[in-house]
Amino acid sequence: MTDSTKTLCPYCGVGCGLDVTPPAQRGQATNRDSEGRPIWKVRGDRAHPSSHGMVCVKGATISESLDKDRLKYPMMRDSLDEPFRQVSWEDALEAITNRMRKLLVTKGADAICMYGSGQFQTEDYYIAQKLLKGCLGTNNFDANSRLCMSSAVSGYIQSFGSDGPPCCYEDLELTDCAFLIGTNTAECHPIIFNRLRKHHKKNKKVKMIVVDPRRTETAEAADLHLAIRPGTDIDLLNGIAYLLMQWGHYDSVFIDECTAGFPEFSEVLQHYPPETVAQRCGISIADLETAARYWGESERVLSLWSMGVNQSSEGTAKVRHIINLHLMTGNIGKPGAGPFSLTGQPNAMGGREAGGLSHILPGYRLVKNPQHRQEVEQLWGLPAGQISPYPGRTAWDMITGLETGEVGLLWVAATNPAVSMPDLERTKAALKRSPFTVYQDAYYPTETATYAHVLLPAAQWSEKTGVMTNSERVVTLCPQFRNPPGEARADWEIFAEVGRRLGFVEQFSFKNSQEVYAEFTQLTRRRLCESTGISHERLQAHGPIQWPCQEGEEIFTAEAKRLYTEFRFPTPDGRARFSAYHSRGLAEPPDPNYPLVLTTGRLYGHWHTQTRTGRIPKIQQMHPNPFIEIHPRDAKPLGIEEDAWVEVRSRRGFARFPAKITKAIAPGTVFVPMHWGALWADNAEANALTHPQACPDSLQPELKACAVKLVPVATITEGEQFQPAVDQMFSSPLSV
Ligand SMILES: Nc1nc2c(c(=O)[nH]1)N[C@H]1C(S)=C(S)[C@@H](COP(=O)(O)OP(=O)(O)OC[C@H]3O[C@@H](n4cnc5c(=O)[nH]c(N)nc54)[C@H](O)[C@@H]3O)O[C@H]1N2
Ligand SMILES: Nc1nc2c(c(=O)[nH]1)N[C@H]1C(S)=C(S)[C@@H](COP(=O)(O)OP(=O)(O)OC[C@H]3O[C@@H](n4cnc5c(=O)[nH]c(N)nc54)[C@H](O)[C@@H]3O)O[C@H]1N2
Ligand code: SF4
Ligand SMILES: [Mo]
């Protein structure tokens, strides 16, 4: 036996394989962190099919964060004004279950909510669904994936009849044209980008188009960068389709035999001639034509997208219109082609399989479907009708439920909403009103701990065994190779213990996570995400496995799997659906009072709210401070110079940043990174400014755009401090 452990990087959805060795092996000197603690050595796992041994700076430095500022013991307090006191697990769990029992009698199960995360392992997700949706009978489980990929989920379901990205990473090396829209792949999915860039560099004929209001590192590498105005994606997509129609670049056999709804779509297209589209998007007609030409002349087009598409008040429509282009040109179900949504978090994909949003159930099932509910009830040994037919509260509905007093217990795990939710002033005010908040995290302090009554210490990656699924449906085992600090426990074990204490002893009698995963895979039988052929044992013995994978199936071929290779789709008639939307534009468009569009996003080194990366010196040096990107055309009239402090004001809040004046952002748009919460800087929260208006289908908030104005800090006099606007565009919070 070697001392090394094969596992998965616990950061992004690329899902790179890691090979981890303990500190000081075979007489080597031990690497130590700045405080003298030994550091585990991390390398890329060459045998991993998704990453071939590559890693980025986040994966390479992960082990430096594992022992810093950990939450080690359960803590409690009676009110938010008091300091926490350390308590036993017994006392903490009793407090939680007593509160739950009381609420079940006084207000019913729907007063209980859990807000989880794509950073759960699949076992954590699954047990949480069984507890909330099965045993308690409320669908009030939602995850931060609501802020992340729920538009991709609803787009796939509406167009194909089921969720599930049809592509795989091998397609990156087989495509003739990569269409990257609303994704800064170079910084956010670096190893996917490495694979694509190598292929692009090697093959002169291969094209890369990037659609992003910012000239990101990704855009720098493209043959064509379309710096569209935020929120004009549907105009662009319809504009490309208009030209493809006009030039006869469509696949009429595929359209006739494999799709429905084409006439309605082509009717919509009439309204998108190049002049109109170029003008709305703020690009040239020539560039629009080049994009259409690359689409039309390429045999295999692969679209990649992430938050610039999903985080939008018309996110589902954007996803569906990307898919329209693939249906119209027959670019699906074949190597090098297809609509490929990139998942953000390491196990956002596993969360989808396990039913980790408030409208879905395990095995790609829907809460609203009576047969689906029945199948799950049966497998869980619960009475018929136990699962509620109503979708539960989404992440944002949990916040408004606290405002109205309908939510009596909020349990937050593996996410930091006091930084990552929209409209933070309102979010924080609602959290302050919460009668009882449980916060289960690996680190302390974090911003959300400020709003908790009970803190539960979670074992994190490396300290518990479970699986994660990456963007290309590859499942990797992440074995435990260190001990959790103090009394920290795996998330699923905590949920299962609460279930047993509430009387569901049989439902939660698992001895280990291997058994949990085995039960979960039974719920995927004959579903698109079938994983009955996957188990901890098989993953341990043979390495990562891509689903679908049926029991007994030979899995040891290296061949990647694509969905829909027979061009039949899981809709009632087997045909994929065209959609026919017009662009509605932004939920909060700029106006004379708030003339700029603020967009928000990520930097290469940092991960979200910095709970890990903020504690790694190398990454802190890479991105020491927050900033705002402003185009010179917008900075000049306000007299804003490089590095000058600027106050950004929206109708809801303000934040202050040093200016970075750059032509790499479209005029009229400004950008701030999302990584700095209250713990890491003063008044630099991107979400102090954003709003919660969401896509009507996916209920995903428009975190990528809100209207703002800039005020140079030097010019602010006492009487001109920030005030929330009286003309709030959206319903304002209840008075506190
Ligand atoms: N380094 C790093 N990598 C990460 C993460 C991290 O925190 N740090 N997080 C992971 C997670 S959970 C996620 S979800 C992914 C996110 O990955 P990405 O989606 O690539 O990242 P973002 O920076 O949020 O947004 C992408 C781009 O959308 C653009 N954009 C804004 N508005 C629009 C628009 O209207 N239309 C178009 N076409 N583009 C627009 C922005 O300018 C931005 O460059 O990254 C994952 N990887
Ligand atoms: N303005 C703006 N806001 C955004 C976005 C944006 O682009 N712009 N992006 C949105 C998106 S896509 C996302 S995904 C969210 C991300 O936002 P969050 O989910 O709030 O961010 P993280 O910092 O990843 O928080 C994860 C937490 O889980 C803890 N953790 C890690 N592992 C474990 C574990 O195994 N168990 C437990 N219990 N805890 C663990 C970490 O310590 C950390 O506190 O932000 C959203 N908010
Ligand atoms: S690309 Fe993503 S999964 Fe790979 S090492 Fe970097 S953060 Fe980890
Ligand atoms: Mo995300």
Per residue in 386-404, pLDDT tens?
A: 999 999 999 999 999 999 9
Q: What is the pLDDT of residues 515-547, one digit of tens each?
A: 999 999 999 999 999 999 999 999 999 999 999
Residue among 192, 5, 165, 45 at smallest CA distance from 547: 165
**Among the CATH numbers 3.30.160.270, 3.40.50.700, 3.40.228.10, 3.40.50.300, which is that of 150-341?**
3.40.228.10
Determine the distance separating the centroid of ligand 2 and the alpha carbon of 413, expressed in angstroms.
10
Instruction: State if residue 344 touches ligand 1 by the CB under 6 angstroms criterion.
Output: yes
Which residue intervals of 476-586 are DSSP H helices? 491-501, 513-522, 536-542
Residue 25 has pLDDT above 80, yes or no: no
Of all residues in the chain, what percent carry a pLDDT higher than 90?
Answer: 93
Determine the distance separating the centroid of ligand 2 and the alpha carbon of 117, expressed in angstroms.
7
Which residue intervals of 577-684 are DSSP H helices? 617-622, 632-635
Ligand nearest to the CA of 188: 1
**Which tokens is 628 given?**
């705002």
Ligand nearest to the CA of 55: 3
Q: Please check whether residue 666 is in contact with residue 214, taking contact to mean a CB–CB distance below 8 angstroms.
A: yes
Among 20, 56, 185, 342, name the best residue to mutate to test ligand 3's pocket (greatest count of ligand atoms within 8 A of Cβ). 56
Instruction: State if residue 609 touches ligand 2 by the CB under 6 angstroms criterion.
Output: yes
Instruction: State if residue 184 touches ligand 1 by the CB under 6 angstroms criterion.
Output: yes
Q: What kind and span of H or E run contains 495? A: helix 491-501
Determine the distance separating the centroid of ligand 3 and the alpha carbon of 198, expressed in angstroms.
17
Q: Please check whether residue 113 is in contact with residue 398, taking contact to mean a CB–CB distance below 8 angstroms.
A: yes
Q: What is the pLDDT of residues 329-362, one digit of tens each?
A: 999 999 999 999 999 999 999 999 999 999 999 9
Q: Please check whether residue 446 is in contact with residue 455, taking contact to mean a CB–CB distance below 8 angstroms.
A: no
In the chain, what are the domain boundaries?
5-65, 75-138+369-510, 150-341, 596-720
Q: Please check whether residue 628 is in contact with residue 647, taking contact to mean a CB–CB distance below 8 angstroms.
A: no
Which residue intervals of 228-336 are DSSP H helices? 233-246, 252-258, 262-269, 274-281, 285-297, 307-310, 315-329
Determine the distance separating the centroid of ligand 1 and the alpha carbon of 182, expressed in angstroms.
7
- Which ligand 1 atom is at minimum distance from the Cα of 185? 20
- Which ligand 1 atom is at minimum distance from the Cα of 118? 12
Domain 596-720 falls under CATH 3.40.50.300: no
Residue 733 has pLDDT above 50, yes or no: no
Instruction: State if residue 703 touches ligand 2 by the CB under 6 angstroms criterion.
Output: yes
Question: What is the rounded distance in angstroms from the CA atom of residue 407 to the CA atom of residue 106?
Answer: 12
What does residue 398 show for φ and ψ, rounded to 5 degrees? -70, -40
Cβ atoms < 10 Å from Cβ of 486: 14
Average pLDDT value for residue range 701-728 = 91
Instruction: State if residue 306 touches ligand 1 by the CB under 6 angstroms criterion.
Output: yes
Q: How confident is the model at residue 28 (pLDDT cuts 50, 70, 90)?
A: low
Among 7, 11, 117, 188, name the best residue to mutate to test ligand 2's pocket (greatest count of ligand atoms within 8 A of Cβ). 117
Question: What is the rounded distance in angstroms from the CA atom of residue 382 to the CA atom of residue 526?
Answer: 21
Q: CB burial class (10 A; 0-12, 13-18, 19+) of residue 83?
A: exposed
Q: What is the pLDDT of residues 81-139, one digit of tens each?
A: 999 999 999 999 999 999 999 999 999 999 999 999 999 999 999 999 999 999 999 99
Instruction: State if residue 17 touches ligand 3 by the CB under 6 angstroms criterion.
Output: no
Q: What is the pLDDT of residues 551-569, one digit of tens each?
A: 988 775 657 789 999 999 9
The pLDDT, as a whole number, for residue 553 is: 82
Secondary-structure class of domain 75-138+369-510 per CATH: alpha beta
Residue nearest to atom 33 of ligand 1 (CA): 308
The amino acid at residue 491 is D
Among 153, 228, 229, 306, name the best residue to mutate to test ligand 1's pocket (greatest count of ligand atoms within 8 A of Cβ). 306
The pLDDT, as a whole number, for residue 408 is: 98
Q: Which residues surround ligand 4, an ion (CB under 5 A)?
A: 148, 344
Average pLDDT value for residue range 7-27 = 90
Residue among 577, 579, 547, 551 at smallest CA distance from 563: 547
Look over the chain and give the mean of its residue pLDDT values, rounded to a whole number.
96
Instruction: State if residue 343 touches ligand 1 by the CB under 6 angstroms criterion.
Output: no
| Cα 390 from chain centre | 24
The reply to whether the predicted model has a pTM over 0.95 is yes
Edge-first strand order for the sheet with 545-546 is 466-469, 474-478, 545-546
User: 10: which strand partners?
Assistant: none
SS3 561: coil
Instruction: State if residue 44 touches ligand 3 by the CB under 6 angstroms criterion.
Output: no
Residue 518's contacts (CB-CB under 8 Å, 6 or more residues apart) are 535, 536
Instruction: State if residue 440 touches ligand 2 by the CB under 6 angstroms criterion.
Output: yes
Determine the distance separating the centroid of ligand 3 and the alpha carbon of 638, expressed in angstroms.
40
Residue 687's contacts (CB-CB under 8 Å, 6 or more residues apart) are 419, 420, 421, 422, 423, 424, 427, 600, 674, 703
Instruction: State if residue 420 touches ligand 1 by the CB under 6 angstroms criterion.
Output: no
What does residue 208 show for φ and ψ, rounded to 5 degrees? -130, 125
Q: What is the pLDDT of residues 555-613, one digit of tens each?
A: 756 577 899 999 999 999 999 999 999 999 999 999 999 999 999 999 999 999 999 99
Residue 507's contacts (CB-CB under 8 Å, 6 or more residues apart) are 130, 134, 135, 380, 381, 382, 499
Question: What is the rounded distance in angstroms from the CA atom of residue 733 to the CA atom of residue 546?
Answer: 45
User: 532: which strand partners?
Assistant: none
- Which ligand 1 atom is at minimum distance from the Cα of 607? 7
Question: What is the rounded distance in angstroms from the CA atom of residue 262 to the CA atom of residue 255?
Answer: 7
The pLDDT, as a whole number, for residue 131 is: 98
Determine the distance separating the centroid of ligand 2 and the alpha carbon of 415, expressed in angstroms.
4
Q: What is the pLDDT of residues 430-477, one digit of tens each?
A: 999 999 999 999 999 999 999 999 999 999 999 999 999 999 999 999
Instruction: State if residue 14 touches ligand 3 by the CB under 6 angstroms criterion.
Output: yes
Ligand nearest to the CA of 231: 1
Question: What is the rounded distance in angstroms from the CA atom of residue 75 to the CA atom of residue 630?
Answer: 44
Residue among 56, 24, 23, 50 at smallest CA distance from 39: 23
The pLDDT, as a whole number, for residue 27 is: 63
Residue 735 has pLDDT above 60, yes or no: no
Q: How confident is the model at residue 725 (pLDDT cuts 50, 70, 90)?
A: confident
Of all residues in the chain, what percent carry a pLDDT higher than 70?
Answer: 97
**Which tokens is 508 given?**
């939660």
Instruction: State if residue 415 touches ligand 2 by the CB under 6 angstroms criterion.
Output: yes
Residue nearest to atom 4 of ligand 3 (CA): 16
Exposed e or buried b for every residue in 689-713, given b needs 16+ CB within 10 A?
A: bbbbbbbebbbbbbbbbbbbbbbbe
Question: What is the rounded distance in angstroms from the CA atom of residue 113 to the CA atom of residue 692?
Answer: 19
Determine the distance separating the centroid of ligand 4 and the alpha carbon of 556, expressed in angstroms.
31
The pLDDT, as a whole number, for residue 556 is: 59
Determine the distance separating the centroid of ligand 3 and the alpha carbon of 213, expressed in angstroms.
24
Instruction: State if residue 601 touches ligand 2 by the CB under 6 angstroms criterion.
Output: yes
Query: What superfamily would CATH give domain 5-65?
Result: ADC-like domains (2.20.25.90)
Residue nearest to atom 47 of ligand 2 (CA): 420
